[in-house]
Structure 1
Amino acid sequence: MESVPPATTPAPTHSLRFRDVPEAGIDSALSLAYLVFHESPEDEKRKHHHDLLLDCIRVGAYDGDQLVGFLAALPFTVSVPGGEVPCPGLTFVSVAPTHRRRGVLSGMIAELFARAAADGAPIAALWASEDAIYGRFGFGPATHGNTLEIDSRRPLALRIAPDERPLRLVDPSDAPELLGPYYDRTRAGRAGRLARTPAWWREEWMVEKDEEDDELSPPRVVTLGTPVAGYAVYRTRTRDDAPGLVRLDDLEADTPAVAAALWRYLAAIDLTGEVRAWGRPLDDPLLLFAADRDQVRVTGQFPALWVRLIDVRAALTARSWAAPVDAVLDVRDDRLPANAGRHRLTATPEGCAYEPTDAPADLSLDVRDLAAAYLGGTSIAALASAGLVQEHTAGTATALDAALRTALLPHTVDEF
């Protein structure tokens, strides 16, 4: 969640001060965010936002005593290849309409970077509503999502046999206890996935009323197998003038057969004629085991989680590596100069070193492009082909891609 309102007459930037927003200032921060986003949420939603902001980094930009900018960073942990790292998640990024182009956003993000580094977080992340804004702060799109639509007016045609173990509808209030351990176990298989607390399950996934479409049903949860081998979280909507809709919010499965069973179930719900899934991974196996791709269509693709490497060395040494690579990287980072310059990356499946060097660079790149590739979802060679990465030693980009490769593409559907 972020917004930078339209330009107004600039004012001197020396009057701005950047500091923590105290707990007593949360309501003022929310009022600023609602002003910027043109929102007037109901009391229940306001309380949820207030509670969400209690346990996070809160950075304010003050012009005298007036709060003119705000951002929050939620204390997430995100999976990376071979492990997980602390990762503040930027949200509620707001600049007052009166203070556009005065360094408010730059100052708040600099303050956030300093706080994250002090707390030992090697990366930060956000969902960007405007791509042009955050690249200049070193964020790169590290995961992507597909929007899928299934014509469910006829049975879903599949090339594989679905798992025939029983399906069970679960009370959403039981989801944190039942699905939480399963999700925790499976999230290590894909980079980019946030750890979900019981509160996150309840207040983000199982909230009864969908804030984007109040015609949708409360969340429905279906599981397969005992113990759980897969689940789907979805909502439904019926109208007299159109086929009923099943909106899939989350689906996880141990095997393709389990996934096939869950997709078959979703496509067979009575009084519906369409399944719509937002934010599915680009390598979703449904796209391969669907027998009729006219029935299962990709209708959109978008960058999802944007990552910023706060500490390049700590980030690179925190992840695992699929193949050996030995290369000198010349990294550009105007916002965090400690990351900039030439470093020798020496990585194997057993570990990684990243140390300063005077040796000639094999590869030159901006920190935003290294961030985009960090989780294994963006090809360095593709960036080089686009003119965004300069390869000085032939084969370096290909070797780095092989080392960064993951079995599954990074993915998250936890928007914040």
Structure 2
Amino acid sequence: MEQHSPLRFGEVPETRLDEALDLNYLVFHESPKDDKRKKHLDVLRECTRIGAYDGDRLVGLLGTLDFTLSLPGGELPSPGLTFVSVAPTHRRRGVLTGLIAELYRGFGAAGTPLACLWASEDPIYGRFGFGTGTTGLHLTIDSSRPLALRIAPDERPLRLVDKAEAPALLGPYYERTRAERGGRTARTQAWWQSEWLVEEDQEDDELSPPRIVALGEPLAGYALYRTKGGDDGPGSVHLFELEADTPAVAAALWRYLASIDLSNRVVAWGRPVDEPLLHFCADRDQVRVTGQQPGLRVRLVDVAAALRARSWAADVDLVLDVRDAQIPANAGRFRLAVADGTATYEPTEAPADLALDVRELASAYLGETAIGALVRAGVVTEHTARAAAALDAALRTELLPHTMDEF
């Protein structure tokens, strides 16, 4: 029988980036062109990289990018996991478990309170404590006829923005509006250029270069979209981001997208669950929800620090019995007390009002998921009547969390 050498976990040096990228492409069945490979190398170079080694052979990879994530009432550093790969020859040998353990050790030493990721496969990361932090809706508008609206759109002129000018115009606006919802990452000018304003879409090379339409001076809203021609008829408009100060501004932008010539469909991916269009459109047969899926996953690496960092909508005093199989410091009974918007979170021997896994606490952290819904689903245990309702009232946010920044 073949003997496997013990796995070793440690840094992936820059001299082995090509090898690391080859492993990632092997796992995700990719064979990218040279320009895309160069982009991936540049991103990987910016990552903090952890590798799993069998002897000297790289058999596992995990990278993290430095992000800052908006929370209710604030923001925190939140490294984003990416390039997570395990060689097919080393599945079920504890490679991913070892990589995550090494990652959490580093987070503990650095005092990192949060982490986040986009999951390629839904079941994997729950067992490592990640909960669904945001959810996105997929919308389709039948634009073969004018968009029917229940409110009057803002009639100020729209203008197309040159791509070179976009980061300077959109960046400050996005930074202001991202504070209104949890789950949004801060964007540098380099991120705008490399992720949002690239000429060719990575997923569909038939899409046009990015177009930006803006409304208002000073800026009151914008939409970032691409178009696609039809093979034998009208094409489609693909919305990537829409931000607006008011419902009237949003209505004007949606009306514009639905009126673009030579198209009969608007496709919008990953819109917030509380999308206002669903309420101010006059015909829900014209505006349809075609899908819904989890977005950003969130991990409370330091539960106490994370809870103290966010704002709260109501006072609460509860004992939480938290399970955390990977980070023992988070596990146990803790009294969460919020008074006048300030939270304390301290160990206690008092009986628990609620018992839950750190994964469920992460899902509720940004306001995405109600604890009461998790009690009804049987994954959170309520020991004290109305404890879930009390915690939900404290966690409530005016707007649901949302993000569009994949990585």
TM class by shorter chain equals over 0.9
Q: How does 1:155-174 map to 2 (within 5 A)?
A: 155-174=146-165
- Is 1:10–1:101's contact at 8 Å kept on the other side of the alignment? no
- Is 2:130–2:297's contact at 8 Å kept on the other side of the alignment? yes
User: What is the aligned partner in structure 2 of residue 47 from structure 1?
Assistant: 38
SS of 2:60 mapped into structure 1: strand
User: What is the aligned partner in structure 2 of residue 358 from structure 1?
Assistant: 349
SS of 1:136 mapped into structure 2: helix
Matches of 1:51 and 1:118, distance apart in 2: 27
User: What is the aligned partner in structure 2 of residue 414 from structure 1?
Assistant: 405
1:385 aligns to 2:376 (yes or no): yes
User: What is the aligned partner in structure 2 of residue 322 from structure 1?
Assistant: 313
Amino acid across the alignment from 2:59 = V
Cα shift readout 1:389-408 (whole Å, capped 9, x = no counterpart): 00001010000000000000
Amino acid across the alignment from 1:221 = I
Amino acid across the alignment from 1:376 = G
Q: How does 1:344-355 map to 2 (within 5 A)?
A: 344-355=335-346
Amino acid across the alignment from 1:160 = I
Matches of 2:392 and 2:284, distance apart in 1: 30
Further displaced range: 241-250 or 256-265: 241-250
| Aligned-pair CA distance for 1:242 | 4.1
1:231 aligns to 2:255 (yes or no): no
What is the TM-score of this pair, normalised by structure 1? 0.96
User: What is the aligned partner in structure 1 of residue 64 from structure 2?
Assistant: 73
Which of 285, 288, 295 matches 1:297? 288
1:146 aligns to 2:137 (yes or no): yes
Which of 15, 18, 23 matches 1:32? 23
| Aligned-pair CA distance for 1:129 | 1.8
| Aligned-pair CA distance for 1:348 | 3.1
Q: Percent identity?
A: 70
Cα shift readout 1:127-156 (whole Å, capped 9, x = no counterpart): 112111111111111110000000000000
Matches of 1:244 and 1:10, distance apart in 2: 56
- Is 2:315–2:341's contact at 8 Å kept on the other side of the alignment? no
Q: Give runs of ≥4 in structure 1 deviating > 4 Å.
A: 9-12
Cα shift readout 1:100-153 (whole Å, capped 9, x = no counterpart): 100000000111112223222211111112111111111111110000000000
CA RMSD of aligned residues (A): 1.2
| Aligned-pair CA distance for 1:11 | 6.2
Which of 48, 56, 67 matches 2:47? 56
User: What is the aligned partner in structure 2 of residue 4 from structure 1?
Assistant: none
Cα shift readout 1:86-110 (whole Å, capped 9, x = no counterpart): 0011111000111110000000011
Would you say how many aligned residue pairs link Structure 1 and Structure 2?
407
SS of 1:354 mapped into structure 2: strand
Unaligned runs of 5+ in 2: none
Which of 196, 200, 210 matches 1:205? 196
User: What is the aligned partner in structure 2 of residue 267 from structure 1?
Assistant: 258
Unaligned runs of 5+ in 1: 1-8
- Is 2:336–2:346's contact at 8 Å kept on the other side of the alignment? yes
| Aligned-pair CA distance for 1:24 | 1.4
User: What is the aligned partner in structure 2 of residue 110 from structure 1?
Assistant: 101
1:196 aligns to 2:187 (yes or no): yes
Further displaced range: 144-153 or 32-41: 32-41
